[in-house]
């Protein structure tokens, strides 16, 4: 029993009466990935200002656009702001205000409760490659090229979700046709997860160093070839190898695609809108993949591997036309952090391997413990290397940003709790209630539809109230949804027992995934957008792997010999309690971020003098 559940690997499950349940990971967050949660402040410098002087007209109204920036707590200690007209006219006779941000200003720049509500204008923020956003990227109306690029990037994320969920539905048929054991079959899933989760950080940084467009195109091409090969092979080992290669390719396309969005659209409403659409496409791909997988598997499991190939080729052709070229960040030097890349990749690969294997081998198995120990050792070596090298793979200072840390914790919580619940619910519906894979997919569909239609509107909500409040409401929806699932028993009614949970999960996803991805890449310079994207995607995967492994252990511990259905029913409450606890942890962390005592406000010193300002 334990080994059959260990075959879960990392995410969703399917089953058949002839072969036990196997599970596939939503290797990309069902919505996939990321963008900006606060608008960057702007400072208007003046030729005559020194010491942060702001001219005020006779009515007491500031004559400069940067007063708001000064009050919002930008990272600089002094903010200049006076209009050009004031400077040129030599108007020094009016009242002057000297605004100096306190030492808390830099800390407040990371406060999601205050920074989120900074300048919301579409044209505010970090410029895209080439010195500014692509034409139209910061306007309310986007031109055909902007829409074309966004559709290509959304299509790639849609394809990731589609591929992962389709293969999950096809696993029992794959095992039966190729004669694979449960232990071998689980690596059709785990191989993908290993390649994806293990190389995300490297993929994100490669996009920064080698060029986002170049990395995206190459990885998408590899994904297409691996999809085609996977549909043709007749050997289980070769099939697993193609899945690993697809995971590696996705580890480069996901952060590269996300960083293209965050460097094409200015921070603020424009980027939030783009990321909301991006998130909705990822969720739609995953949800529709469950349905398509059930239909295609009826015709033959190979079609689930073949379908992504022509889609990837079409996206590759379109990407060459619509995605603008960008210059590698480090084009000026040839020094690359190879030691850092090797240690962090090895650490992530071993961590994912250990978590995937732990439920089957046992958490105290020598192989499991050794994998965790070596992973930790490589991670420590990576940190030491990054502290010394001139051009680190990962700038460790990024972890001093509170909003980045909060976004990555939120990613682990949201995806971890959902993957664990999806695993449990799939077992419950298929093995305890004897539902078919297609029926199970349709049971999850309402959540996916809510995300598809709701996520595109999350950007506007973030513009109004910021990311942290949106994340808090979304996490609360998750926690309440899991709590309602405690009512599930051996004879449930879908409309009253299961559907409410699915609807609340849809609300949670529609709010959390866009907001988390916005927050995770906000305030990051263009040359580190790939790094930020890789970090948040890694957090999604690690959270999913760890919580899934814990839920699998709970299910295995409650196994009833000779009666799998009874064992699953017995495991429902403790396993549901586990995922609910993870969601509640996220609620508490986010509430702490929003608590008045935890918020650092900017204390501005205002001095009013007659005559010339000083």
pLDDT tens digits along 69-103:
333 333 333 333 333 333 333 333 333 333 333 33
Burial category of 330 from C-beta neighbours within 10 Å (exposed 0-12, middle 13-18, buried 19 and up): middle
Beta bridge pairs of residue 99 = 606
| Shared domain check, 201 and 99 | no
Q: How far apart are the C-alpha atoms of 170 and 184, rounded to whole Å?
A: 15
Q: Please indicate, yes or no, if residue 611 is contained in any of the structural domains.
A: no
Residue 142: its pLDDT value, please? 86
DSSP-derived letter for residue 111 is: -
Asked which of 118, 149, 165 is the last residue of a domain, the reply is 118
Q: Please indicate, yes or no, if residue 251 is contained in any of the structural domains.
A: yes
Q: Whole-prediction pTM value?
A: 0.68
368 contacts 361 by C-beta, under 8 angstroms: yes
| Shared domain check, 60 and 34 | no
Query: Quick count: other Cβ atoms within 10 Å of Cβ 558?
Result: 18
Q: Please indicate, yes or no, if residue 58 is contained in any of the structural domains.
A: yes
Query: Quick count: other Cβ atoms within 10 Å of Cβ 298?
Result: 12
186: domain CATH number?
1.20.1250.20
SS3 of residue 510 by DSSP: helix
* Range(s) of the domain holding residue 111: 53-118
Beta bridge pairs of residue 3 = none
270 contacts 119 by C-beta, under 8 angstroms: no
Residues of the chain under the 70 pLDDT cut: 1-140, 182-183, 329-336, 596-614
DSSP-derived letter for residue 486 is: G
Residue 599: its pLDDT value, please? 52
What DSSP element (H or E) covers 150?
Answer: helix 144-178
Nearest to 580 by CA among 534, 547, 613: 547
Nearest to 196 by CA among 351, 312, 343, 6: 351
| Shared domain check, 88 and 63 | yes
Pairing of strands 12-14, 22-24: antiparallel
DSSP-derived letter for residue 8 is: T
| Shared domain check, 431 and 326 | yes
Residue the block writes with tokens 């600089």: 76
Q: Please indicate, yes or no, if residue 259 is contained in any of the structural domains.
A: yes
Domain count of the fold of the chain? 2
Q: How far apart are the C-alpha atoms of 39 and 197, rounded to whole Å?
A: 30
Residue 137: its pLDDT value, please? 54
CA–CA distances in Å: residue 528 to residues 206, 220, 278, 349, 359: 10, 21, 20, 22, 36
116 contacts 268 by C-beta, under 8 angstroms: no
Q: Please indicate, yes or no, if residue 320 is contained in any of the structural domains.
A: yes
Residue 82: its pLDDT value, please? 33
Q: Please indicate, yes or no, if residue 613 is contained in any of the structural domains.
A: no
| Shared domain check, 162 and 64 | no
Q: Please indicate, yes or no, if residue 353 is contained in any of the structural domains.
A: no
Residue the block writes with tokens 């084009």: 331
SS3 of residue 135 by DSSP: coil
474 contacts 511 by C-beta, under 8 angstroms: yes
| Shared domain check, 571 and 538 | yes
| Shared domain check, 178 and 84 | no
Burial category of 93 from C-beta neighbours within 10 Å (exposed 0-12, middle 13-18, buried 19 and up): exposed
| Shared domain check, 84 and 206 | no
Q: Please indicate, yes or no, if residue 603 is contained in any of the structural domains.
A: no
Six-digit token pair at 173?
């048929």
DSSP-derived letter for residue 126 is: -
| In 211-337, alpha helices (H) | 212-232, 236-264, 269-299, 302-306, 308-322
Q: How far apart are the C-alpha atoms of 57 and 92, rounded to whole Å?
A: 10
Burial category of 536 from C-beta neighbours within 10 Å (exposed 0-12, middle 13-18, buried 19 and up): buried
Backbone angles phi, psi at 515, to 5 degrees: -65, -40
Q: How far apart are the C-alpha atoms of 3 and 258, rounded to whole Å?
A: 37
**What is the overall mean pLDDT for the chain?**
74
Q: How far apart are the C-alpha atoms of 416 and 207, rounded to whole Å?
A: 26
| Shared domain check, 166 and 108 | no
| Shared domain check, 61 and 21 | no
Using the Cα atoms of residue 298, residue 300, residue 301 and residue 304 in order, give the sign of their dihedral: negative
Residue 75: its pLDDT value, please? 33
What DSSP element (H or E) covers 563?
Answer: none
Q: How far apart are the C-alpha atoms of 244 and 255, rounded to whole Å?
A: 17
Q: How far apart are the C-alpha atoms of 534 and 474, rounded to whole Å?
A: 23
| Shared domain check, 223 and 183 | yes
Residue 183: its pLDDT value, please? 62
Q: How far apart are the C-alpha atoms of 34 and 613, rounded to whole Å?
A: 44
Six-digit token pair at 207?
């996009």
403 contacts 519 by C-beta, under 8 angstroms: yes
| In 14-143, alpha helices (H) | 67-72, 84-89, 104-108, 112-115
| Shared domain check, 71 and 188 | no
């Amino acid at each position: 029993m334990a080994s059959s559940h260990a075959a879960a690997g990392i995410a969703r499950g399917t089953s058949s009466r002839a072969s036990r349940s196997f599970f596939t990971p939503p290797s990309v967050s069902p919505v996939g990935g990321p963008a900006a949660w606060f608008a960057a402040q702007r400072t208007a410098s003046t030729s005559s200002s020194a010491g942060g002087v702001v001219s005020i007209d006779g009515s007491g109204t500031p004559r400069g656009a940067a007063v708001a920036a000064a009050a919002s707590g930008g990272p600089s200690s002094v903010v200049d702001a006076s209009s050009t007209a004031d400077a040129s006219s030599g108007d020094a006779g009016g009242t002057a205000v000297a605004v100096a941000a306190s030492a808390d200003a830099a800390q407040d720049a990371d406060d999601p409760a205050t920074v989120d509500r900074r300048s919301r204008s579409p044209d505010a923020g970090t410029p895209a490659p080439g010195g500014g956003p692509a034409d139209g990227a910061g306007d309310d109306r986007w031109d055909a090229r902007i829409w074309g690029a966004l559709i290509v990037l959304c299509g790639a994320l849609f394809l990731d979700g589609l591929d992962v969920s389709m293969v999950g539905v096809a696993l029992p048929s794959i095992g039966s046709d190729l004669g694979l054991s449960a232990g071998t079959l689980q690596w059709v899933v785990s191989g993908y997860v290993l390649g994806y989760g293990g190389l995300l950080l490297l993929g994100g940084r490669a996009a920064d160093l080698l060029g986002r467009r170049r990395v995206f195109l190459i990885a998408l091409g590899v994904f297409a070839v691996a999809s085609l090969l996977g549909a043709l092979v007749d050997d289980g080992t070769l099939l697993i190898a193609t899945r690993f290669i697809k995971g590696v390719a996705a580890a480069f396309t996901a952060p590269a695609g996300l960083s293209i969005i965050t460097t094409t659209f200015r921070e603020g409403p424009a980027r939030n809108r783009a990321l909301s659409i991006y998130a909705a496409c990822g969720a739609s791909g995953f949800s529709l993949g469950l349905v398509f997988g059930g239909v295609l598997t009826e015709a033959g499991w190979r079609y689930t591997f073949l379908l992504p190939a022509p889609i990837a080729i079409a996206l590759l052709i379109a990407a060459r036309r619509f995605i603008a070229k960008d210059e590698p960040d480090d084009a000026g030097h040839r020094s690359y952090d190879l030691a850092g890349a090797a240690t962090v990749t090895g650490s992530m690969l071993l961590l994912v391997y250990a978590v995937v294997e732990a439920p089957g081998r046992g958490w105290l198995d020598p192989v499991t413990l050794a994998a965790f120990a070596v992973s930790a050792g490589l991670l420590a070596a990576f940190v030491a290397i990054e502290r010394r090298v001139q051009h680190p793979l990962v700038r460790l200072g990024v972890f001093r940003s509170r909003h980045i840390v909060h976004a990555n914790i939120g990613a682990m919580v949201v995806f971890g709790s959902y993957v664990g619940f999806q695993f449990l619910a799939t077992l419950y519906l298929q093995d305890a209630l004897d539902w078919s894979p297609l029926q199970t997919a349709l049971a999850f569909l309402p959540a996916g539809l809510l995300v598809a239609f709701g996520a595109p509107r999350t950007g506007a909500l973030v513009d109004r109230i910021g990311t942290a409040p949106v994340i808090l409401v979304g996490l609360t929806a998750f926690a309440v949804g899991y709590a309602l699932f405690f009512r599930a028993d051996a004879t449930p009614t879908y409309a009253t027992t299961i559907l409410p949970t699915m609807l609340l999960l849809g609300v949670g996803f529609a709010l959390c995934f866009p907001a988390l991805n916005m927050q995770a890449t906000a305030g990051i310079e263009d040359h580190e957008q790939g790094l930020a994207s890789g970090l948040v995607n890694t957090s999604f995967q690690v959270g999913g792997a760890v919580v899934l492994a814990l839920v699998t252990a709970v299910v295995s511990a409650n196994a009833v010999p000779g009666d799998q259905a009874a064992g699953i029913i017995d495991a429902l409450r403790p396993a549901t309690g586990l995922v609910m606890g993870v969601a509640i942890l996220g609620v508490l962390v986010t509430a702490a971020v929003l608590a008045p005592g935890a918020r650092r406000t900017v204390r501005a010193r205002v001095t009013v003098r007659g005559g010339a300002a000083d």
